[in-house]
């Protein structure tokens, strides 16, 4: 990053040829997608259960839910490390996946809960009246209503997982590595321009994600305004 | 909804809470009572109250406080200006965009900018001040931290400013208050919630920054976060690390209770 000689795509070529790096990128994406998917499922059901709960235990459950969001990464990472060591889970793909799922769930809940609160409870009563089973109520009445919340939750979980450094850093063993951890190790060894190339690619991808999320949001808002569902 | 079926759906979620929220905290407290050899002892707590660790805690506190105050000073006027612009969503998006980018990348960029051969030094040389060691100083650390935390401070304040009823300002002016007076007595108290939320969102992470301190400040600045990470991953002294973590948790809870915020504040911080 010192002398500027001219434009070159050499560093990008270097990035593409670095197979270890590509494997790491793949790992990062797999973890992000898997953790976002699983945490969305668990989170949605958790949100539904919380919504229909009585007031006293509801408050405690909500506070517990927010603990992971508010805590600093270091504490989450350290505590998960202890947890995994005691339980005996090997540090690697499994531990990273479990940690990502763990801190994505509260995010999903926070995104879905407001949508649930917006929903008119008499919709459920009406469905029951017409003879729907519990599963039907959930699948045909509740889910479509909170669809935008579910998407938002999924996206946020995805972003948090892709971005995360601290927690992954604590629970990753020697072999496994995600993009963020890899960049950190390389950055500590010194400046290397292939990191710059990699960073630009990641940056572009993040921008694409954000734009995509923005457009989905706009579309949802427009649909809701028009009254179409 | 029938309680029985509802409880079935609750099971995975409950399991997750018990496993990943309650258990880790208990484990951390549990571990803080063990020293390196594995014996049950209060040694770690005694060690924490020695000058070395106390100095580190205080300096870490001081840095976090500085960062919070500076970001507040920068963020409040910015948020205020934001409410006056026409294309609010666009400006908001521009300001929030950096916070979507990976923290590491931003830190790495600053290594390049502040480095000995970087942009800033090049500018300084042409101006004639000459080459300076910017990286690995207190200044660079605080600068980069403020840069990273500004969006987190702007968002709650902006939300609070938006929610405020503008006719209150008009009423104050009508009754003869000056600009300064209006700000002090009307605007600021009403947005205090947002300010508190922003401060929490900045102060607590600032205490536990560890990656940033390593990359930008080298070993000159040690925050509580760095110490925890050091103990866990390098010296393998999990007991001491857990002790520091316990204190960090206590400080965090104390700050939150001090600010008196619960769920309402979280709404303002939501992205």
B176-198 pLDDT, tens digit each:
878 787 777 788 888 887 888 88
- Which runs of consecutive H residues, i.e. helices, occur in chain B? 3-17, 23-31, 43-48, 51-84, 88-100, 103-114, 119-127, 138-163, 166-174, 179-182, 188-190, 192-208, 211-217, 224-229, 238-259, 263-269
Tens digit of pLDDT for each residue in B46-63?
Answer: 777 777 778 888 888 888
Q: 3-state SS string over B200-248?
A: HHHHHHHHHCCHHHHHHHCCCCCCHHHHHHHHHHHCCCHHHHHHHHHHH
Burial A9-42 (b: 16+ CB within 10 A, else e): eebbeebeeeeebeebbebbbebbeebbebbbbb
The reply to whether residue A206 touches residue B100, judged by beta carbons under 8 angstroms, is yes
What pLDDT, on the 0 to 100 scale, is given for residue A37? 92
CA distance B271 to B268: 8
- Closest partner residue to A165 among B104, B112, B270, by Cβ? B104
CA distance A80 to A74: 10
* B92 within a domain of the structure (yes/no): yes
What pLDDT, on the 0 to 100 scale, is given for residue B270? 52
Contact indicator for A82, B24 with CB cutoff of 8 Å? yes
- Closest partner residue to B248 among A43, A75, A81, by Cβ? A75
Spatial neighbors of B249 by CB under 8 A, at least 6 apart, are: A71, A75, B25, B28
B223: left (phi over 0), alpha (psi -120 to 50) or beta: beta
Quickly count: other Cβ atoms within 10 Å of residue B7's Cβ: 11
Nearest-CA distance from B252 to chain A in Å? 8
What is the total count of domains within chain A?
Answer: 1
Output the CA angle A158-A162-A163, nearest 5 degrees: 115
* B6 within a domain of the structure (yes/no): no
* A185 within a domain of the structure (yes/no): no
Nearest-CA distance from B28 to chain A in Å? 6
Q: Is B41 helix (H, G, I), strand (E, B) or coil?
A: coil
- The mean of the pLDDT values for chain A is 79
What pLDDT, on the 0 to 100 scale, is given for residue B235? 76
* A222 within a domain of the structure (yes/no): no
CA distance B255 to B248: 10
Of B120, B143, B159, the C-alpha closest to B71 is: B143
Q: Find the CATH number of the domain harbouring A136.
A: 1.10.3720.10
Give the mean model confidence (pLDDT) for residues B204-215: 79
Give the mean model confidence (pLDDT) for residues A59-81: 80
* B18 within a domain of the structure (yes/no): no
* B15 within a domain of the structure (yes/no): no
- Closest partner residue to B117 among A2, A53, A196, by Cβ? A2
The reply to whether residue A72 touches residue B112, judged by beta carbons under 8 angstroms, is no
Which residues of B fall within a CB distance of 8 Å from A124? Answer: 1
Burial category of B191 from C-beta neighbours within 10 Å (exposed 0-12, middle 13-18, buried 19 and up): buried
What pLDDT, on the 0 to 100 scale, is given for residue A214? 75
* B120 within a domain of the structure (yes/no): yes
* Mutation choice for B interface testing from A53, A72, A110 by most B CBs within 10 A: A72
The reply to whether residue A72 touches residue B214, judged by beta carbons under 8 angstroms, is no
- Domain of residue B83 covers 58-234+261-269
* A10 within a domain of the structure (yes/no): no
pLDDT band of residue B36 (cuts 50, 70, 90) is low
Spatial neighbors of B129 by CB under 8 A, at least 6 apart, are: none
Q: Does B116 score more than 80 pLDDT?
A: no
* B202 within a domain of the structure (yes/no): yes
Residue % of chain B over a pLDDT of 70: 85
Give the mean model confidence (pLDDT) for residues B229-256: 80
Q: Does B217 score more than 80 pLDDT?
A: no
Q: Which two tokens stand for residue A146?
A: 């909170």
Q: Does B265 score more than 50 pLDDT?
A: no
pLDDT band of residue B130 (cuts 50, 70, 90) is low
* B17 within a domain of the structure (yes/no): no
Query: Ranked by mean pLDDT, which of A57-71, A96-110, A193-207 comes out on top?
Result: A96-110
* A170 within a domain of the structure (yes/no): yes
CA distance A156 to A34: 13
Q: Is B24 helix (H, G, I), strand (E, B) or coil?
A: helix
What pLDDT, on the 0 to 100 scale, is given for residue B37? 63
CA distance A189 to B214: 12
pLDDT band of residue B131 (cuts 50, 70, 90) is low
The reply to whether residue A165 touches residue B22, judged by beta carbons under 8 angstroms, is no
Q: What is the dihedral of CA B75, B81, B84, B90, to 10 degrees?
A: -70
* A91 within a domain of the structure (yes/no): yes
* Mutation choice for A interface testing from B3, B4, B8, B9 by most A CBs within 10 A: B9
What pLDDT, on the 0 to 100 scale, is given for residue B40? 67
What is the total count of domains within chain B?
Answer: 1
How far is residue A58 CA from its own chain's centroid?
A: 24
- Contact with chain A for residue B261, Cβ under 8 A: no
Nearest-CA distance from A38 to chain B in Å? 11
Given 3-state DSSP classes, what are the helix, strand and coil percentages for chain A, each rounded to the nearest 5?
80, 0, 20
- Look up the ipTM and state it: 0.73
Q: Find the CATH number of the domain harbouring B71.
A: 1.10.3720.10
What pLDDT, on the 0 to 100 scale, is given for residue A34? 92
Nearest-CA distance from B174 to chain A in Å? 38
Of A33, A29, A34, A23, the C-alpha closest to A176 is: A23
Query: Ranked by mean pLDDT, which of A153-157, B100-104, B218-222 comes out on top?
Result: A153-157
Q: Which two tokens stand for residue A126?
A: 């009406």
- Domain of residue A30 covers 17-178
* A138 within a domain of the structure (yes/no): yes
- Contact with chain A for residue B28, Cβ under 8 A: yes
* B265 within a domain of the structure (yes/no): yes
Give the mean model confidence (pLDDT) for residues A172-188: 77
What pLDDT, on the 0 to 100 scale, is given for residue B252? 82
Contact indicator for B29, B246 with CB cutoff of 8 Å? yes
* A211 within a domain of the structure (yes/no): no
B 180-239: CB under 8 A from A: 204-205, 207-208, 210-211, 214-215, 225, 228-229, 232-233, 238
pLDDT band of residue B271 (cuts 50, 70, 90) is very low
* Mutation choice for A interface testing from B95, B105, B267 by most A CBs within 10 A: B105
Nearest-CA distance from A118 to chain B in Å? 15
- Contact with chain B for residue A130, Cβ under 8 A: no
Q: Does B262 score more than 50 pLDDT?
A: no
């Amino acid at each position: 990053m010192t002398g500027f000689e001219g434009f070159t795509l050499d560093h990008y070529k270097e990035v593409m040829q670095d197979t270890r790096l590509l494997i790491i990128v793949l790992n990062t994406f797999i973890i992000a997608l898997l953790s976002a998917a699983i945490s969305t499922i668990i989170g949605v059901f958790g949100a539904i259960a919380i919504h229909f709960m009585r007031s006293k235990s509801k408050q405690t459950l909500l506070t517990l839910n927010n603990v992971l969001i508010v805590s600093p990464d270091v504490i989450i990472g350290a505590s998960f490390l202890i947890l995994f060591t005691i339980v005996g889970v090997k540090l690697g793909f499994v531990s990273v996946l479990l940690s990502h799922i763990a801190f994505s769930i509260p995010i999903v809940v926070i995104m879905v809960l407001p949508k649930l609160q917006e929903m008119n409870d008499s919709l459920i009563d009406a469905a029951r009246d017409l003879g729907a089973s519990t599963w039907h109520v959930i699948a045909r009445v509740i889910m479509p209503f909170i669809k935008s919340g579910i998407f938002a939750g999924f996206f946020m979980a995805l972003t948090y997982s892709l971005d995360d450094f601290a927690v992954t850093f604590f629970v990753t063993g020697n072999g496994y590595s995600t993009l963020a951890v890899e960049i950190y190790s390389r950055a500590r060894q010194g400046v290397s321009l292939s990191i710059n190339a990699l960073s630009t690619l990641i940056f572009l991808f993040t921008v694409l994600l954000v734009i995509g999320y923005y457009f989905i949001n706009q579309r949802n808002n427009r649909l809701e305004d028009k009254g179409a569902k | 909804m029938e309680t029985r079926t509802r409880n079935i759906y609750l099971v995975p979620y409950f399991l997750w809470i018990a496993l990943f929220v309650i258990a880790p905290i208990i484990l951390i407290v549990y571990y803080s009572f063990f020293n390196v050899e594995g014996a049950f002892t209060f040694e770690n707590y005694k060690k924490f109250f020695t000058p070395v660790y106390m100095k580190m805690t205080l300096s870490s506190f001081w840095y976090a406080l500085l960062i919070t105050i500076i970001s507040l000073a920068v963020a409040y006027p910015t948020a205020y200006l934001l409410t006056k612009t026409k294309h609010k969503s666009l400006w908001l998006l521009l300001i929030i965009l950096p916070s979507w980018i990976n923290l590491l990348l931003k830190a790495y960029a600053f290594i390049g900018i502040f480095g000995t051969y970087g942009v800033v030094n090049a500018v300084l040389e042409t101006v004639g001040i000459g080459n300076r060691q910017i990286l690995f100083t207190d200044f660079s650390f605080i600068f980069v931290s403020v840069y990273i935390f500004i969006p987190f401070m702007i968002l709650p304040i902006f939300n609070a400013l938006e929610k405020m009823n503008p006719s209150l300002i008009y009423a104050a002016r009508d009754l003869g208050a000056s600009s300064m007076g209006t700000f002090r007595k009307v605007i600021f108290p009403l947005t205090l919630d947002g300010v508190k939320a922003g401060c929490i969102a900045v102060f607590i992470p600032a205490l536990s920054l560890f990656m940033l301190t390593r990359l930008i400040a080298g070993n000159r600045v040690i925050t509580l976060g760095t110490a925890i990470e050091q103990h866990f991953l390098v010296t393998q002294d999990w007991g001491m690390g857990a002790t520091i973590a316990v204190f960090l948790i206590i400080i965090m809870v104390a700050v939150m209770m001090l600010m008196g915020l619960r769920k309402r504040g979280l709404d303002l911080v939501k992205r």
